[in-house]
Amino acid sequence: MRRGRFPFGRRPRSATVSPVGVRKSVAALTAVGLLASACTSPVGLPIPVPDSAKYGADGIGDPYFPRYGNGGYDVSHYDLKMRYAPDTDQLAGQVVITATATTPLRRFNLDFTGLPISRAVVNGSPAQARQEGAELVVTPANELTGAFTVEIDYAGVPKPINSILGDGGWLHTDDGAIALGQPESASSWFPVNDHPLDKATYDLAITVPEGKAALSNGVPEGSTTADGWTTWSWAERTPMAPYLTTVVIGDYRITSGSHKNLPILTAVAASMPEGGPADAAMARTGEVADFLETQFGPYPFQSYGGIAVADTRIGYALETQSRPVYGPSFFRGADSTWVVAHELAHQWFGDSVSIGGWQHIWLNEGFATYAEWLWEEHTGNRPVQSQFDEVYRTMDWSIPTGDPGPANIFSGAVYRRGSLAVHALRLEVGDDAFFTILKTWTAERRNNTAVTADFIALAERVSGRSLRPFFDAWLFRTTQPPVPNP
């Protein structure tokens, strides 16, 4: 994600975090473990495991956002079909989720905010599904072990989610809708295990009135029209974190073709001036991706793209997988490619290599901000060292990059201080080791998740140096660290 050019004076509104929720999740996990290891009584009679021990947790265990995601299963695929009528704002959806129970389950949760459910089926049999706040609690007819499928039909008027980032979730616009947001948004338009720890592949088919575009992630699979409605199909066959899903419906100028033998599809809101800054920036998507490939390693996905939206509530750009979405504020200046560099850098840092918890978000934003610096040097605007020197001089060191707290995951401590840490590592280990670290990271962790300790371990392995004190100073202390002497 990237806010407008100077976003860091604004303090993000605080996140709602319940420490009680953390304790609850941990307690649930502990109970399962205890019961599993104590299943006979002192006189040798089997003690039945109570159903409550087989209730999937209502959070995946993220200390920053305890209710995000859910426990007890792992999703491999979402097959999502939706029909949206912009004039009434009515969304009707059907999702088929393919998952594997990681523990025997009598009940499990999905994240879903408020659309009425008309049908829930698990493994072909009707199941109970009831809404509890932002959770959908599903009770299948039979206990689940191993692979299972969930089908849920739902319909209603979807709602926005006001997250730390601002307006997100499902936003009804003048010409259609935009579904977008971080750290959560997907749960406003489909039932989902909404945490980057549970990445999955997706098929999306979105039906809209003929004449409207319905854009999403991944490979474009064409559209078909019948009875005044057009269905647009998209396939993301590389695992994707739920917050990286998007749907953009409305009037768009679409440019499609191929780039390096992969499909490329960009779109600009029809209300934005034709041939203006948004069109110019989107047209350079392939060029920016190719530059980043020289820095970070092979492009990780099967499709390229970008979507420039006109709705001013989108005051940010977001790295939605293979097709980032850019808010209108980025296209006021002559050259907006720096934000394209930021969002495309996330395709490696954040999308392909996803964070194992929101505390580690500097692994996304520090590198995406550094990509802006690399791009601006590449285009002759400004050397990286000059960016580093200025930010280093003016940095507020009071928030630790490696553990900024849930209210600060989009703060300058994560973006700019994170980028300082990245460049300081380069000064510390030298260019050869530095770029080997980046390319090894994106190769070894591709389609996976990782945390800060994994990055530190890799940097030490590649450089052959002990870097704990270095990372401690740049990521976790609250005082200005000394600049390494290359």
Among residue numbers 130 through 189, which ones bind Zn ion (CB under 5 A)? none
| Binders of Zn ion in range 61-90 (CB under 5 A) | none
Q: Look up tokens 């992630």; give the residue.
A: 217
Site for Zn ion in 180-239 (CB under 5 A): none
Which CB atom, from 177 or from 368, has the smaller least distance to Zn ion?
368
Strands 200-209 and 229-240 turn out to be antiparallel
Residues in contact with 186: Cβ distance below 8 Å, sequence separation at least 6, in sequence order: 111, 179, 192, 194, 242, 243, 245
- The answer to whether 311 and 177 are in contact (CB under 8 A) is no
309 binds Zn ion (CB under 5 A): no
* Binding to Zn ion, residues 367-396 (CB under 5 A): 368
Nearer residue to Zn ion within complex by CB, 220 or 350: 350
Nearer to Zn ion, 167 or 365 (CB): 365
CB atoms within 10 A of CB 237: 14
Taking every pair of Cα atoms in the chain, the longest distance, rounded to a whole number of angstroms, is 81
Please give the structure tokens belonging to residue 279. Answer: 């069109």
Q: Contacting Zn ion (CB under 5 A), which of 1, 105, 307, 421?
A: 1
Give kind and range of the element (H or E) at residue 32: helix 19-37
Q: Rounded CA gap, 168 and 160, in Å?
A: 6
Nearest distance from C-beta of residue 317 to Zn ion, angstroms: 8
Handedness of CA 407, 413, 415, 421 (dihedral sign): negative
For residues 37-56, which are near Zn ion according to CB under 5 A?
Answer: none
SS3 370: helix
Nearer to Zn ion, 202 or 362 (CB): 362
Beta-strand relationship, 144-156 and 160-163: unpaired
Residues in binding contact with Zn ion, number by CB under 5 A: 4
Supply the minimum distance, in Å, between the C-beta of residue 2 and Zn ion. Answer: 5
Nearer to Zn ion, 177 or 341 (CB): 341
CB 441 within 8 A of CB 459: no
Answer whether 356's CB lies under 8 Å from 452's CB. no
Taking the complex as a whole, the smallest distance from the CB of residue 35 to Zn ion amounts, in Å, to: 42
Nearer to Zn ion, 25 or 322 (CB): 322
Distance CA 19, CA 64 (A): 9
Q: Are the C-beta atoms of 213 and 271 separated by less than 8 Å?
A: no
Give yes or no for a cis peptide into 183 (omega within 30° of 0). yes
Q: Taking CA 316 as the corner, what is the angle to CA 380 and CA 474, rounded to the nearest 5 degrees?
A: 65
* CB contact at 8 A, 411 and 8: yes
Nearest to Zn ion of 109, 411 (CB atom): 411
Q: In whole angstroms, how close is the CB of 92 to Zn ion at the nearest point? A: 33
Nearer to Zn ion, 282 or 414 (CB): 414
Minimum CB–partner distance for residue 104 and Zn ion (Å): 39
Shortest approach of Zn ion to residue 33 CB, angstroms? 37
Q: Does 292 bind Zn ion (CB under 5 A)?
A: no
Least Cβ distance, residue 364 to Zn ion (angstroms): 6
Q: How far is the CB of 41 from Zn ion (least distance, A)?
A: 55
Q: Does 2 bind Zn ion (CB under 5 A)?
A: yes
Q: Which is nearer to Zn ion, 70 or 408 (CB)?
A: 408
- Rounded CA-CA distance 448/69 in Å is 17
DSSP assignments along 255-311, one per residue: EEEEETTEEEEEEEETTSPTTSHHHHHHHTHHHHHHHHHHHH-S--SS-EEEEE---
Nearer to Zn ion, 1 or 288 (CB): 1
C-alpha 230, offset from chain centre = 28
Touching Zn ion, residues 339-368 (CB under 5 A): 365, 368
Q: In the complex, what is the shortest distance from the CB of residue 243 to Zn ion, in angstroms, rounded to a whole number? A: 12
Beta bridge pairs of residue 2: 317
Measured from the CB atom, is 134 or 288 closer to Zn ion? 288
Instruction: Give the shortest CB-302-to-Zn ion separation in angstroms.
Output: 22
Candidates 2-10, 244-252, 282-290, 443-451; binding stretch for Zn ion (CB under 5 A): 2-10
Question: Least distance in Å: CB of 329 to Zn ion?
Answer: 15
- The residue ranges that bind Zn ion (CB under 5 A) are 1-2, 365, 368
